[in-house]
Structure 1
Amino acid sequence: MGYYLNVNNISIYVEDPYPKGVKTILFLHGWPGSHRLFEYQFDKLPQLGYRCIGIDTRGFGNSDKPFEGYDYDTLSDDVRGVVEALGLRDFTLAGHSTGGAIAARYMGRHLGYGVRKLVLIAAAVPSLIRRQDFPFGIEQERVLQIIEGTYNDRPQMLRDFGDNFFFQHTSQAFSDWFFQIGLQAAGWATAAIARTWIDEVLFTDLESIGVPTMIIHGIHDKVVPFQLAEVQHRMIRNSILVPLSFSGHGSFYEQRDEFNDTLVKFIES
C-alpha cells in the first residue's frame, strides 16, 4: 500500500506493500526516478518475508515538489522523518545513485539512526564529479549539460540519460516506462539535484560509516563510473564490494535475480 507522511512540512510518498515483513529494507531511489525503480525487488522480496519500503524523494514521484530543499542535509532529514514516523529500527538502508549519496549523508548527519546494515548501489559518492584533489567520477561539464538540458528540453535530456542507464538491451516498452518515471519529477527538482552533485561532497560521511556495508556496482556503469565503487570500498571499513559483470547503472533490473539474491544473503549474514 502507499501513503503520505508529513515530514519537514511537506508530504512524502511512501510505498509500503507488506508492512508485516519481519525484516525491513528502506529503499532510496536515484535521480530522476521514484520508488518505482525498485519494482523488481518489491515483486519478490516480500514473498521472502521482507518489508520493502520505498520513499519518493521530495520533488520526485508522488511526493510534494517544493522549490527548495535539494541539498543532502535536507534530503537526509526527510529520511530521518520517515524513519521516526514509522518507528523503524534495525533496518537495512539501500540507496541507489543519488539515493546512495542521501544514504551516506544520513549515516554521517544522523549517525546511522536505526540502520543495521547499509547497501550502496551505484552510489554517487564521495563525489560524482572529478575535482582538483579527486581524479575519479565524471567531468563537471556533463552535469552542466544535464542542467541546461533540463531547462531547455527536459524530455530529450531524459531520453538521452535513459540511453546511457542500462548496459543490457531493454524493450521499447520498458524504455518508455522508465522515461515516464523521470517525467513525474519537477523540472526545478531535476536541475537542483544535479546542481547538488557539483556543490557537495561526502568524504567525511563515508569515513563515519560503521555498520556492515555492501557496495553493488555494475562494471559497465556510464552514469556513476565503477571506480567510485572501488573508492567507497577503500574508505568504508567493514565493507564488501560486489561487481556485477553484466550491468550498467541499473543492476537492480539488469541482473535482478542475482541482485536480489545478493541482497538477501547480505542481510541474513
Structure 2
Amino acid sequence: MYIGHIEVEPGVRLHVQDLGEGEPVVLLPGFGMAHETWDGTVQRLTAAGYRAICVDPRGHGLSDRPLSGYDVPRLAQDVAAVLDALGIASATIVGWSFSGQVGFQLAATAPERVRQLVLVCSNAVRTTRSEEFPFGLPASSLLPTLLEGELNGRMTSRREGIANAFASPPDPHLLEWLTTLSMRMPSWAGAAVCVALMETDLVAHVPRVRQPVLQLIGADDKIFSLKGARWLNERLHDATLVPLEGCGHYPMLERPDVFFDALHKFLSRTVHRPAEQVTSG
C-alpha cells in the first residue's frame, strides 16, 4: 500500500493512491476531478484481485499545481514517471474524459507501458470537430466560453458543467461534493486544461494503438459523442465499445454496478493473456 506524492519532474509532485495486489490498473480522473471519484471502483478492483492505482494529474486533487505542463504529452509523461517510481513496466490505463486523451497519447507513444487501455466517456482523439473527426462543435465556438468561465466565474462554471453532464439531475449532496473536488484545481490549471481539451488532435495516433481497448461511454453523455466513439471503434485495431444506458458522463457514480461489470469483464478477458508485441511506429 502506498498513499503519498511522487515527483514527476523537479518541483512537481503528484498524489498517488496505490492499493491492493495483482495486475496494476491505473485510474486517471476527468477534468477537475480526483482520486476520490474512483472510491467504489477501487473497492471492487481490489476485492477482485487487482492493484488499483489512482493518480491525481498535476493541477488536480492533492497534486501540485504548477503554472505549466498541462498539455497532453506532458501529462502522459507524468503517468509514465509514476509507473517508473512504482516499478511498474506496464499497466492497464483507465482514462476518464480528458484523461482518455492522456491514456491514448501514452498508448500510442510508449506502447510498452500500456498493456490495455480503457476509455471512459472519452473519444480520446479529439473533443471538438475537425475535417477528419466530424463530431462535436468547433473549438472556436467552445473555447472562449470555457476560458471566460474559468477565469471570471469558476465556481458557477464548474458547478453547472458538472450538473449538466449527468443523464438526470444529480443528488444535491453529490453535486456539492463534486464541485468541492473540482475547485481544488486553480484557474490557471483549469484554463490550460481547457485549451488542451479543446485543441488536442490525436487522430494521427490511431494506427499506433494496437493494444486491446475498451470504450465505455454513457448513452446519454452530453460531453463526448457516442457517434464519435463509434467512429474511433471502427478504426482501432482491437476495440470493444460498450454504451451504458441511462448514463451520462459520470458512469462510476451514475451506474456503478453496470460500469464495473463491463470493466471487470474486459480485464478478466485481457489482463492475463500474453502481451502483443507493439511498436510506436
Give the TM-score normalised by structure 1: 0.94
Name the counterpart of 2:5.
4
For 1:209, give the aligned amino acid: V
What is the identity percentage for the equivalent residue pairs of Structure 1 and Structure 2?
27
In the alignment, what sits opposite 1:236? Answer: 236
Answer yes or no: is the 8 Å Cα contact 1:129–1:136 preserved in 2.
yes
2:17 is the counterpart of 1:15: yes
Which stretch shifts more, 165-174 or 138-147? 138-147
> Secondary structure of the equivalent of 1:16?
strand
2:24 aligned counterpart, secondary structure: strand
Cα pair 1:22 1:50 within 8 Å, conserved: yes
Deviations 1:37-79 (A, max 9, x none): 2122012221122111011111111111111111111111101
Can you give the 5+ residue segments of structure 2 that lack an aligned partner in the other structure? 270-281
Say whether the 8 Å CA contact 1:137–1:227 is kept in structure 2.
no
Q: CA deviation at 1:124?
A: 4.1
CA deviation vs aligned residue, 1:105-146 (integer Å, no higher than 9, x gap): 111222x23322111111142110112443212342223211
Deviation at 1:90, TM superposition (A): 4.3
Code of the residue aligned with 1:114 in structure 2: it is: R
Amino acid at match of 1:181: L
SS at structure 2 position matched to 1:113: helix
| 1:1-269 matches, cutoff 5 A | 1-9=2-10, 10-18=12-20, 21-110=21-110, 112-140=111-139, 141-269=141-269
Report how many residues are paired: 266
> Does structure 1 retain, via aligned residues, the 8 Å contact 2:163–2:170?
no
Is the 8 Å Cα contact of residues 70 and 193 (structure 1) preserved in structure 2?
yes
SS of equivalent to 2:153: helix
Equivalent position amino acid for 1:118 in 2: L
- Secondary structure at the counterpart of residue 19 of structure 2: coil
> Are the structure 2 counterparts of residues 2 and 185 from structure 1 closer, same or farther at C-alpha, using a change threshold of 3 Å?
same
TM-score (norm 2): 0.91
Q: CA RMSD in A?
A: 1.4
Tell me the distance in 1 between the aligned counterparts of 2:137 and 2:85. 37
Any unmatched runs of 5+ in structure 1? none
Contact 2:107 2:113 in 1 (8 A): no
Distance in 2 (alpha carbons) for counterparts of 1:89 and 1:133 = 34
Matches of 1:30 and 1:73 in 2, distance apart?
16
- 1:75 maps to a residue whose letter is L
What is the alpha-carbon distance in structure 2 between the residues aligned to residue 255 and residue 224 of structure 1?
17
3-state SS of paired residue (2:117): strand
